[in-house]
Structure 1
Amino acid sequence: MRRPARASLRWKIAALAAATACLVAAAVGVLVHLWTAHDIRSRAEARAFNTVYSAMDVYRRTGTLADGAELDPPDLPAALRDPADGNRHTAYDSRVEGNAGPTVWAAQRTGGPGSPVLAVQVNLGPELSDLPRLDLAMAVASLLALAVAVPLAAYGAGLLARRLRHVSETALLISAGDLDARTGQVGGRDEVTDIAATVDKMADSLSHRLRTERRFTADVAHELRTPVGGLLVAADLLPPGETEDLLRARVRDLRALVEDLLEISRLDAGSEQPVRARVPLGAVVAEALARTGLDTELDTAATSDTVETDPRRLERIVTNLVLNAHRHGAAPVRVTVTDRTVEVRDHGPGFPADLLRDGPRRFHTGTPARGTGHGLGLTIALAQADLLGADLRLTNAPTGGALATLHLPE
């Protein structure tokens, strides 16, 4: 069974890992950039503060300016032109002129109010120029980490996807009828292991129930053969008349039902094996129609080849399809044989929509308008076709009526 195309879980996880790595790298890069810029400014403020302290000490002892200090410089920020009570203050100046700037200023009044202001300027340009190189290094490191993280995430996700795919394939096998399929050991001790164990338990329970039901059906059908045979013999001893005919007809229906149940139980158990032979397809179909005793049109003009198949099972399939067409459809019923294909068509209301959608169900005959029966004919026909490796398709003809097409394999 082919699964529909979908995005692989492996690449979804790999893409999620890549997106997460990119987000983390971007967040770390921004934080490092901001922290580095803040650290450069803090260290510049501390250096300017200390320089003002030492330059003021020299100026008060010798009257000279040291360490690049200036008195009332014209570029001094307005916030530092009147440092209250002679306290040292710092300010950030974002102006850039040539290779100078941004800068950090530190200033202190040399004496009382109205005395000159001694100021020191620290240029942040050289240190801030290293920030782009730091950002580039962070970007390169992030790309290298991403190049390593994505393959590792894809590999790990591949292991997870492989285990999930194994569980999914086992579930598909079980749904297709393989009751012996099991997930086995999928490795790990995680949720996937729990899912695999649950699927195996479900398969065990389903297998047990189905085998019990099949065994029950086979046992019931087998036990009914003897009393039904006795009823048929007893009916033969009745005096001729309407009662005898009605009773014989009902006993024959009951016997046919028992034989159908036995056949289904053997097919379900897998104990049936085809006995193949080279036979003329048209002749086998004609013989099957003759056995039904029903008025059925036959067209074999388009075939003269022989086929290798089990003639008894092929007759069984054709017989069931023809009986179903007469019982649930309407005349005329026509059988056309072409090469390896047999088509059975009636002109009744056609197959019900639920049968076309879900396939035939046992003891389900669709709408009452399609006649009577126990609903096992199409089920047996499909099972026998599957045993022969043939393809049996049930459709409705475009102009009305049910159409069953049996295609035998090469």
Structure 2
Amino acid sequence: MFDPLDLYTPEEPPKDIHVVLERRQLLENEKSEDNILESYSNGDDEDYSMLSPLQVLDLPPPQTTPADILETTLILLGPSTQLNFNNEVPSIDRSEVTTEQLDELCHWNIINKPYSYLTTKDSLLTRLPSLSTQCSSGSPVKLLSYYTSILHRCENNPELTQLSTIVAKRIAELCGRTAQPSMTRDFRINNLEKTIKLYEPALTSDNLGHKTWGSSLVLANRIPTLENCSGSSKPRVLELGSGTGLVGITYTISHSNEFSQVFLTDLPEIVPNLRTNAKLNDLSTHNSVIADVLDWTNHDSFVEKYGDIQFDIILIADPIYSPQHPIWLMDTVKRFLKKNGEVHLELPIRTKYNKERETLWRIIEEKGLEVLEEDYEQGIDDWGQVEYIYKRLAYPSTN
């Protein structure tokens, strides 16, 4: 069959045709990139992106993304500063990340993942912490897989040491409270304008005092409206087993006009962090705040240092962790409480410590203290909802 095209001989393409095609493709890429950048600079998709659910797949690929882009992403995936044991609201304050790093990450996402919903600074500062919170409280498997892929990339590569350090920290944060690294929490207390910041070192079984427990928050919420019933114009306040210092710090801030002297006390290994938290809340040079060791089993060193002093108010939150604690605690209260002073005690109602609580109630009565007020309260901590009991104690009035 005759085909007219058989008589047609096509012209040979110029030898430099590949150069022409490369230049054409380059121009098209530049035009496409300019269009993408222009559309995002106009904020065309910003409102929609903030409403769309963020997925782990929206993150930069772990194996092919430049290390500096991954580092910025991982920093922003860090946990939000927790507020009263609640981290649902993402933190906007990301002082670890510079404006230049945010700009670079935005630009990279616009070009390489334009539909990732992470193409503006606002989305980076809110959506990434939200994703971290969402995965931590739900199913962390996909995010954990993303982190381990980055960690695998860092193996045997000394140039990625910084990236490896950051991703290892993110992995620890997904492994539960007991595995989490050190953190700083925010606490907002009822009737107190100032937000209290507390640093918590990594939790270990032998340093439970490095953690803020829910009973401290519940008791702290009572402190700003606490009245000084002793009649002293300069009341002395003693917190026993201060831990991270939430209760005592709350008293110092909320009663600053009373010229009170507040002692934050705990074991030797806990006190350095107590001082850190006093400094964190601008109390390190406060003449009325003292953080020091007070051993419940031997008061001698404390008395030698501060004299034979007694206190108008004693604050205690969650002090019972062993069968001996009720005895030691009440011996200490007996030693340091003024005859017209008051004790404010907050305890979680843990089934495991029913016997210790009953021992404590018995010893309180044996020491001659009366229960002036008792209340049951609900609160939360890192392990969920907890019921607490509050007691206000004092010696019988001699009037």
Q: Could you tell me the TM-score, scaled by structure 1's length? A: 0.17
Q: Could you tell me the TM-score, scaled by structure 2's length? A: 0.18
Higher helix share: 1
Larger Rg: 1
